[in-house]
């Protein structure tokens, strides 16, 4: 159908098995699709090459009259030496560049780029903290407007909820995001450059407060009776029974457990394990009993302590610390502080310091005293941690602080 198009001809154009075109003069073309949709195109020649450009909206959203007017505008551009397709491409590129100058867009571009080389767990972890900590606060901020003081305040807010390791990683991610943004020309500043100097005084051992032995009976009773998630309370108790790091405890996988042998087996290179050391954790009877009960709830999932909103993910890093705060122990006890509490108690009760250090996963087990036995001090540690769990039960029941009952091996 040649010549000038009419609205009547367009309305009468019915779909066929294959798409076909209706020409309307000056390169205006209407493409009729098999599903009945009708799209406008401009056909034109540029530097001896035939090209085609979409007019954007389909018919009848873009009427025939408006399509003809748009074609005349584009023809004028071509006559003036401007390729409308290239102009549109540059406009989109500029729009994308401007959008990337907002922190959220830069962070998403950075995440998409970097996550290609990350392990799945690392990618999930970074995604979690982007969504939880960085984007809600910084998302709509222009990159050039973000200040060092602003980032320091954000970092401290993460530390204050009892997650200093997350705060440290967040600072590293922020530095990487701004580096990526500068490399792409989205900003020239670097508010992360002096961030370490500003936040360093708030890091260190004081971020891991812990209770004294005299305060344990009341704490245990409060924890027992407090109305909270079984999984969060379970993660808190497992940390108190084993002295493992908070990140390792909350990401415990069922595949790591041998409950028949009362053993938690952490392979070398495991995420959240400091320096990726392997580690064998003996489980006291109380921990095994609790884990068997939790298996009824989460045994079909990968993680023992599953996330509240997504069971495919582990418990969030702040869940146990939030529970401790609700119990009234803000600034007095953190999940990481359990390690200090246990270390202090076991050393004061005269257990071998090497056993305690191995229980805390300090040092590479493959290199300790030249041995190749990864089960370093496993049996004496079994007894030590069972003594400790029994001691906690006694404190909960009697409310009296006494020496640990060092039962015969």
The pLDDT score that the predictor gives to residue 365 is 58
Active-site residues, by number, are 245, 274, 336, 339, 362, 372
Residue 358 near residue 280 (C-beta atoms within 8 A): no
Per-residue pLDDT band for 364 (boundaries 50, 70, 90) equals low
Under 8 Å between Cβ of 371 and 186: no
> If you search the block for the tokens 């042998």, which residue do you land on?
261
- Unique residue bearing structure tokens 């992360």: 192
The span from the CA of 274 to the CA of 276, in Å, is: 5
Q: How confident is the model at residue 168 (pLDDT cuts 50, 70, 90)?
A: confident
Strand-pair category, 38-46 with 28-32: antiparallel
Contact 181, 106 (CB under 8 A): yes
What's the angle, vertex CA 258, arms to CA 254 and CA 259, rounded to 5? 95
Predicted confidence (pLDDT) per residue in 346-357, tens digit: 888 888 888 888
**CB contact at 8 A, 290 and 234:** yes
The structure tokens 């344990």 sit at 216
pLDDT of 376 strictly over 70: no
- Decide: helix, strand or coil at residue 371: coil
**Helices (runs of H) and strands (runs of E) counted in the chain:** 17, 7
Residue-level pLDDT at 352: 87
| 351 within 8 A of 394, measured Cβ to Cβ | no
pTM of the predicted model over 0.75: no
Reduce the DSSP state of residue 25 to 3 states and report it. Answer: coil
Give the rounded distance of the alpha carbon of 377 from its chain centre: 35
Q: How many CB atoms lie within 10 A of CB 77?
A: 13
Concatenated DSSP letters of 303-365: BSSB-SS-TTSBPPTTHHHHHHHHTT-TTT--TTHHHHHHHHHHHHTT--HHHHHHHTT-S-T
Mean of all residue pLDDT scores within the chain: 85
List of domains in the chain: 7-92 (3.30.160.390), 101-205 (1.10.150.130), 213-398 (1.10.443.10)
Provide mean pLDDT across the span 208-231: 89
């Amino acid at each position: 159908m040649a010549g000038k198009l009419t609205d009547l001809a367009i309305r009468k154009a019915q779909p066929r098995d294959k798409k076909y075109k209706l020409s309307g003069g000056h390169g205006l073309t209407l493409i009729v699709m098999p599903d009945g949709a009708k799209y406008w195109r401009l056909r034109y020649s540029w530097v001896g090459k035939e090209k085609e450009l979409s007019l954007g909206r389909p018919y009848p959203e873009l009427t025939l009259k408006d399509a003809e007017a748009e074609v005349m505008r584009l023809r004028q551009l071509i006559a003036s030496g401007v390729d409308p397709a290239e102009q549109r491409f540059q406009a989109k590129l500029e729009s994308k560049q401007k959008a990337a100058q907002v922190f959220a867009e830069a962070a998403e571009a950075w995440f998409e780029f970097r996550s290609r080389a990350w392990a799945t767990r690392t990618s999930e972890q970074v995604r979690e903290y982007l969504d939880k900590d960085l984007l809600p606060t910084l998302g709509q901020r222009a990159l050039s407007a973000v200040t060092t003081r602003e980032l320091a305040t954000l970092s401290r807010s993460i530390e204050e909820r009892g997650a200093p390791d997350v705060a440290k990683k967040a600072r590293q991610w922020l530095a990487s995001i701004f580096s990526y943004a500068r490399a792409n020309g989205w900003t020239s500043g670097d508010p992360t450059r002096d961030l370490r100097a500003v936040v360093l005084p708030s890091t260190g051992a004081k971020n891991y407060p812990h209770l004294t032995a005299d305060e344990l009976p009341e704490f245990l009773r409060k924890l027992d009776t407090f109305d909270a998630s079984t999984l969060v309370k379970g993660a808190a108790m497992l940390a108190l029974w084993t002295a493992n790091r908070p990140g390792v405890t909350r990401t415990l996988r069922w595949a790591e457990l041998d409950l028949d042998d009362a053993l938690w087996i952490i392979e070398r290179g495991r995420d959240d394990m400091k320096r990726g050391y392997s580690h064998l954790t003996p489980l006291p009877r109380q921990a095994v009993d609790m884990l068997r009960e939790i298996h009824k709830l989460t045994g079909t999932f990968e993680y023992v302590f599953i996330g509240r909103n997504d069971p495919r993910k582990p418990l969030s890093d702040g869940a146990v610390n939030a529970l401790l705060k609700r119990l009234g122990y803000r600034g007095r006890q953190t999940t990481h502080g359990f390690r200090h509490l246990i270390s202090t108690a076991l050393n004061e009760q005269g257990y071998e310091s090497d056993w305690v250090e191995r229980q805390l996963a300090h040092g590479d087990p493959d290199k300790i005293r030249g041995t190749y036995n990864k089960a370093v001090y496993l049996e004496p540690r079994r007894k030590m941690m069972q003594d400790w769990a029994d001691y906690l039960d006694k404190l909960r029941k009697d409310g009296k602080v006494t020496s640990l009952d060092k039962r015969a091996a």
